[in-house]
Structures are given as structure tokens and as C-alpha cells.
């Protein structure tokens, strides 16, 4: 099949690459010529395990191509995915300007029947806006061309997106007619070889399903963070509570790990967007509002623990930070809890040395340049270098390389013996045995 994908960001590139891997001919479209040149040279603009090999292989075979011309991509396309960004507006609502701009360009170029697929995360009613924009441009051309608009939200986890696409739990498809449903069944047939994974529903149903899924997962995280704060005050080990409730099959273990708050490109944006959607319909989403408020507060918890230990004035204190990305397996720094923590440490007078396996380049552009120029904030090439002369280590991202570190080497590097753990990676008993003061979210070995 011949597919066009508009947008070569996280969702667009993964979508295009994985469809090409299944033998389809895919053209990815982007207006950023520098990004396209990098792709042609075999450089991947995002960190995603397994993606680079698929892109390089299919570009060399001619199954995957890139262009800045939507008209060129549409010449032969049977399916067109809109996979452009929908960043939040100031009020939390999704900004649809890029989606609508693509829809208008489709209307200006459309010649033959096409299935137009919204892959971007978009509010309920967006498909109707896309159709209106296409129809408006066709009207200006005084043409009538048949097409369908479909909602096909993505459910990709950063760090595991290729596997999620190639072996999906489900493929949600929102349509308003049988023809579009059959076209989508044909497109996704190879992904449902062992069982039917396609869930066909109404367009508006599919649009809300994506938001509801992310809001549910964010709710589980904020709930467990709420419990962790109770554990702190009651002298309870939150990990025992987590295991106790997770063994209930109605609850499960996924997304009930307490920490320093969720981040990334999806949960923060989508929770705010669904809150905004509710208010647009004169409904106050009290639970989701609380989820968002807890998450914002949770990003301050670890800094408050540092202040409780060292005092409000951190002048002369030096901290080694392990992990910057919002989660392991990605270089995505959007809404990362590490940004909140490092800015708070710098504002309080501390100095920071930070290490992350893949996210440091992105972090440099998001943290204060004056602190970097003065040496108050340094990025180092080795996790133990981050601990040189540190008064404390702060764990912010649970990369595998941090799970079983050499605690003796750490102690040799550090001035102090304090570990602040934002991801609850270490057992308090082990930290006591190793001679560390251990302060985590809902867990501590302090008496």
C-alpha cells in the first residue's frame, strides 16, 4: 500500500518507519529541510530504541522516503496520516493550528480518493474540523473529490514505541462509514495475524479514547504519589503498600510506582486538554483536576526533602544528579521532573553536576545558560563523575545503569553520604548496610 505521513516527529517517524517495515511504500513529509537532510543521511532526530535500524534499512530499500512536498506525496498515496504536533495553549486546550494547516493543504492538493487519518492526539470534534477545512479548499477549487476522515490515535510508549507499533494491544479506529472501516482493516491486517486487534468505533469515540487512556494512567500515578505522601507522614514503607495493592488483579502493578511526578509529551498535555474539554462542555472534571494538581505538587516533593535535610540556604552545597529524561529509554525532556528540581537547587544557591545516558544535549537547551557558563551547572560524561565532591546524590530517572551502582565507588567520590531517591530504586535496609542516609518518596532509613 502507498502511505503518506505528514510530520517526522516522534509519532510520525515511528508510524512511517513501521509501516514501511511491513512492505508498504511510505513517504514522510515535513517542512523542516534540515531534519529531512539528516534523515536522508541516516541520522535519527529522536532517541528511540530500534527505530534507527528500521529507518536506515527501509530508506536504503526505497520503501521509506522523505520530502517537503505534500503534493508530491499525495500523487500516489492511498492513505495519509496527519501526525503533527498539538501543543497545549495557555488554557490547557490543544493547539490545532498545525493539524488544520495540513488539512487545508490536503484540500488544495487532493485529486483522487484518499483516507485521511488523524494520528495526532486531538480533541473530540477535530475530525469534523479537518473535514470542514478540506471541503473549504475543495470548494475554492470548485471540485468534488471523494475522501474519508478517520481517527486512529496512537498508543506508543516512548522507549518501546517500535514494539508497541509492531505488536499493538489494540488498534483503535474511529470511522463514520463502512468503506473507511474496510480500508483501515486492510491497512492494519498484518498487525492482527493471531487475533483481531482492530476496535472500530465512532470518530468522536476514538478521539476521546486516547485522552481517557492517558488520563487513567496519569490518575494511577498521582494516586500512588498521594499515598506515598501519606506514608511519609505515617512512617509507612510505600513499597510494601504498593506490592500489597498491586497483587489485587483488579488493580495490578502497572503505573503504581511512586516518584517525583510524571512528565513527557503525553500525560501532562493530555490531562490538561481533557480538563479543558470538560469545561468547554460546562463540566468541571474534579478528579482530573486533582490528578494535575497532585502531579505539580509532587515535582516539588524531593526538593522539599533536600531543604528539610540541609536547610533553606544551599549556598556551597553540591549535588550530583543521576538522570534527566522524564523516564528511561528516551531523550525526551518535556515536562521532566529533573528540570523542576535542578532549577530549584540553583535558585537556592547550590551547584549541580548532572549525568544522563542520552538526554544531556536536550537538557542543555532547557536549563539556565548562565548557570552552565558559570560552572554552577555542569553536564558530565560518567555517572560517577557527577558525584565528585557531592554533598548528596539525587536520582531522578531510573535508567538501568543506576539500578545496581558501585556504592563503594560512590562513597569514594562524594563528600557526603546522602542519597535522595526520586524513583524509589533502592531498599532502605541496603542503604543502611552501605552506610548511606537514604531519603526517598514514601521511604527512608532516617530515624
Tell me how crowded residue 21 is: count the other CB atoms within 10 A of its CB.
21
Q: Could you tell me if 352 and 342 are in contact, meaning their C-beta atoms sit under 8 angstroms apart?
A: yes
Q: Distance of alpha carbon 166 from its chain centroid, rounded?
A: 18
Nine cell digits for residue 353: 553536576
CB neighbours of 208 closer than 8 A, spacing ≥ 6?
124
Would you give the DSSP letter of residue 135? Answer: H
Instruction: Decide: residue 247, CB within 10 A, 0-12 exposed, 13-18 middle, 19+ buried.
Output: exposed
CB neighbours of 272 closer than 8 A, spacing ≥ 6?
88, 92, 93, 292
d(CA 224, CA 241): 10
**At 7, is the secondary structure helix, strand, or coil?**
coil
- Kindly report the backbone phi and psi dihedral angles of residue 141, in degrees, each rounded to the nearest multiple of 5, phi listed first: -85, -5
Tell me how crowded residue 6 is: count the other CB atoms within 10 A of its CB.
29
d(CA 26, CA 3): 5
CB neighbours of 233 closer than 8 A, spacing ≥ 6?
none
CA angle 257, 263, 269 (to 5 degrees): 125
- Kindly report the backbone phi and psi dihedral angles of residue 144, in degrees, each rounded to the nearest multiple of 5, phi listed first: -125, 110
- Kindly report the backbone phi and psi dihedral angles of residue 359, in degrees, each rounded to the nearest multiple of 5, phi listed first: -100, 5
From 18, 28, 266, 413, active-site residue: 266
Nearest to 323, CA basis, from 412, 419, 251: 419
Query: b/e per residue, 110-138, with b = 16+ CB within 10 A?
Result: beeebbbbbbbbbbbebbebbbebbeebb
Residue 159's alpha-carbon distances to 19, 46, 156, in angstroms, are 18, 11, 9
Would you give the DSSP letter of residue 441? Answer: S
d(CA 70, CA 6): 8
Q: Which residues pair with 370 in a beta bridge?
A: none
Active site residue 266: yes
- So which residues are the catalytic ones? 266
Amino acid at each position: 500500500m502507498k502511505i503518506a505521513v505528514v510530520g517526522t516527529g516522534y509519532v510520525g517517524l515511528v508510524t512511517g518507519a513501521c509501516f514501511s517495515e511491513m512492505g508498504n511504500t511510505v513517504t514522510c513529509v515535513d517542512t523542516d529541510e534540515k531534519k529531512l537532510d539528516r534523515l536522508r543521511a541516516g541520522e535519527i532526530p529522536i532517541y528511540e530504541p530500534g527505530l534507527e535500524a528500521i529507518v536506515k534499512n527501509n530508506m536504503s530499500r526505497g520503501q521509506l522516503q522523505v520530502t517537503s512536498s505534500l503534493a508530491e506525496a499525495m500523487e500516489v498515496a492511498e492513505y495519509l496520516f496527519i501526525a503533527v504536533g498539538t501543543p497545549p495553549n495557555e488554557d490547557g486546550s490543544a493547539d490545532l493550528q498545525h493539524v488544520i494547516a495540513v488539512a487545508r493543504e490536503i484540500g488544495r492538493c487532493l485529486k483522487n480518493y484518499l483516507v485521511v487519518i488523524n494520528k495526532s492526539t486531538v480533541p473530540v470534534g477535530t475530525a469534523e474540523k479537518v473535514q470542514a477545512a478540506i471541503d473549504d479548499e475543495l470548494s475554492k477549487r470548485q471540485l468534488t473529490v471523494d475522501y474519508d476522515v478517520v481517527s486512529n490515535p496512537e498508543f506508543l510508549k516512548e522507549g518501546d514505541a517500535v514494539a508497541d507499533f509492531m505488536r499493538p494491544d489494540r488498534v483503535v479506529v474511529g470511522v463514520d462509514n463502512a468503506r473507511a472501516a474496510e480500508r483501515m482493516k486492510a491497512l492494519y491486517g498484518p498487525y492482527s495475524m493471531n487475533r483481531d486487534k482492530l476496535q472500530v468505533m465512532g470518530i468522536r469515540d476514538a478521539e476521546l479514547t486516547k485522552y481517557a487512556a492517558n488520563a487513567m494512567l496519569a490518575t494511577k500515578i498521582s494516586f500512588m504519589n498521594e499515598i506515598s505522601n501519606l506514608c511519609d507522614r505515617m512512617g509507612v514503607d510505600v513499597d510494601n503498600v504498593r506490592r500489597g495493592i498491586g497483587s489485587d488483579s483488579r488493580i495490578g502493578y502497572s503505573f503504581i510506582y511512586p516518584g517525583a511526578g510524571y512528565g513527557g509529551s503525553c500525560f501532562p498535555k493530555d490531562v490538561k486538554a481533557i480538563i479543558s474539554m470538560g469545561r468547554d462542555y460546562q463540566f468541571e472534571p474534579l478528579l482530573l483536576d486533582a490528578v494535575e494538581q497532585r502531579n505539580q505538587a509532587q515535582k516539588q516533593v524531593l526538593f522539599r526533602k533536600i531543604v528539610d535535610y540541609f536547610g533553606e540556604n544551599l549556598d556551597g552545597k553540591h549535588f550530583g544528579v543521576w538522570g534527566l529524561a522524564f523516564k528511561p529509554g528516551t531523550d525526551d525532556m518535556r515536562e521532566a521532573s529533573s528540570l523542576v528540581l535542578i532549577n530549584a537547587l540553583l535558585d537556592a544557591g547550590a551547584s549541580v553536576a548532572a549525568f544522563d545516558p542520552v538526554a544531556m544535549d536536550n537538557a542543555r537547551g532547557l536549563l539556565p545558560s548562565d548557570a552552565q557558563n558559570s560552572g554552577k551547572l555542569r553536564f558530565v560524561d560518567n555517572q560517577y563523575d557527577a558525584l565528585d565532591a557531592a554533598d548528596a546524590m539525587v536520582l531522578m530517572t531510573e535508567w538501568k545503569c543506576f539500578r545496581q551502582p558501585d556504592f563503594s565507588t560512590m562513597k569514594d567520590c562524594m563528600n557526603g553520604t546522602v542519597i535522595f531517591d526520586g524513583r524509589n530504586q533502592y531498599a532502605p535496609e541496603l542503604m543502611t548496610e552501605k552506610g548511606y542516609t537514604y531519603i526517598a518518596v514514601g521511604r527512608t532509613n532516617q530515624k
